[in-house]
Amino acid sequence: MDGAIGKLAAIFGCNGTHLTAWEAAFFRDADPFGFILFARNVDNPAQVAQLCADLRTAVGRDAPILIDQEGGRVQRLRAPHWREWSPPLDCVHMAGALNAPRAMALRATVICAELAALGIDANCAPVGDIAGPQTHAFLRNRCYGHDAAQVAQIARAVADAHLDMGILPVAKHLPGHGRATLDTHHELPRVTAPLGDLLASDFAPFAALADLPMAMTAHIIFDCLDPDHPATQSPAVIAAMRDMIGFQGLLLTDDLNMQALSGDLGQRTARSIAAGCDIALHCKGDGGQMVQVAAHAGAMGAQTRARAKGALACRHPAKAVDIAALEAEFHALMQPKG
């Protein structure tokens, strides 16, 4: 085991705003790669900072702590303690094509400053999915645009803002979620587009982001690569992520509790790791389920450990920024264009 990165090929959530004795003992023994926070874990800044410290104390190291802070519907830190943001696609439309990359980078910088102040050092963003007329509503306004070039440009600006602030970006959802017409929290979508179309569109933003340290899978079937298994559990699709898209960083599953996946949590975990995912992501904070995931995720292998080390090397203390100046520039870009 490498003590700097932990042992277990998993990221876990916890149940509430404070770590329980059972959770602390379980995390100490299981030693997962990292943790993820949700709205149920958030009350006020001092409490969140203490929870982050307690999670790291439980494993005895500076484990990464993730959150989903995209802005819009998907943001776990909310007013009155943190800034509220419009959905990304609304922001992009308001800024206009010319200004959208800068506007999204500005808001990402402010978001990262808020995360860093709490001890959170990884954010599940940017979203590299392309919004289309068929994109399910749960995802559509979280996207950055309607074509591959626009999405790639804005996603790169968002990712670079994270890296500049020492926050690990987690690109999502490889190899592309935009064609899904179903909500993967509840159902398993199937994409029937030919491979050539996917390479030219859906996969292209992720190819442009292939150098990022971390990414998250999509629970979607791509018929042209594997008609029988969702991407998270498909060796063929994960091989395409590595070879066609070129992503060589640390690959996380999307949340294993999402009902696009079948079987119990142990089966979901085992299938995902066997297919080539590096890290099993379990978000619910349910103790019994975490025990199942831990039993089937296994210790990180040599390749996963190397990718994990590479990802963590991208963390650094957040640089000092002038938040007021960043916000003023952002709001100027959001003004209606004459």
Active site residues per annotation: 185, 254
Residue 56 and residue 32 in contact, taking contact as beta carbons nearer than 8 Å = no
Q: What is the SS3 string spanning the chain?
A: CECCCECEEEEECCCCCCCCHHHHHHHHHHCEEEEEECHHHCCCHHHHHHHHHHHHHHHCCCCCEEECEEECCEECCCCCCCCCCCCHHHHHHHHCCCCHHHHHHHHHHHHHHHHHHHCCCEECCCECCCCCCCCCHHHHCCCCCCCHHHHHHHHHHHHHHHHHCCCEEEEEEECCCCCCCCCCCCCCCEECCCHHHHHHCCCHHHHHCCCCCEEEECCCEECCCECCCCHHHCHHHHHHHHHHHCCCCEEECCCCCCCCCCCCHHHHHHHHHHHCCCEEEECCCCHHHHHHHHHHHCECCHHHHHHHHHHHCCCCCCCCCCHHHHHHHHHHHCCCCC
CA distances from 80 to 30, 45, 49, 135, 252 (A): 35, 10, 16, 32, 31
Which residue has 């904070």 as its token pair? 285
Q: Residues 30, 294: contact at Cβ < 8 Å? A: yes
